[in-house]
């Protein structure tokens, strides 16, 4: 669970690294091998993106004091 802006930025960097790995893997692996290896990485990306969205929207759930 992301608690700070720094953790959110690290999560974004991690996602970028995972995407780079997938892009490189697409060029050297067969479709079948790529599909097998990419599935857990894609799930990891999806989970981290969800954590980022939850962190960024956390304050939106609380009423704004006027």
Q: List, for residues 2-17, the tens digit of each pLDDT value.
A: 999 999 999 999 999 9
Q: List, for residues 36-45, the tens digit of each pLDDT value.
A: 999 999 999 9
Q: Alpha-carbon distance 59 to 18, whole Å?
A: 28
Average pLDDT, the chain: 93
Other CB atoms closer than 10 Å to residue 21's CB: what's the count?
Answer: 13
pTM beyond 0.85: the answer is no
How much is the pLDDT for 63? 63
């Amino acid at each position: 669970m992301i608690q700070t802006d720094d953790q959110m930025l690290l999560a974004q960097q991690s996602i970028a690294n995972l995407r780079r790995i997938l892009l490189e893997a697409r060029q050297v692996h067969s479709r079948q091998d790529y599909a097998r290896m990419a599935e857990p990485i894609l799930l990891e990306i999806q989970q981290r993106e969800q954590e980022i969205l939850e962190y960024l929207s956390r304050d939106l759930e609380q009423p704004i004091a006027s």
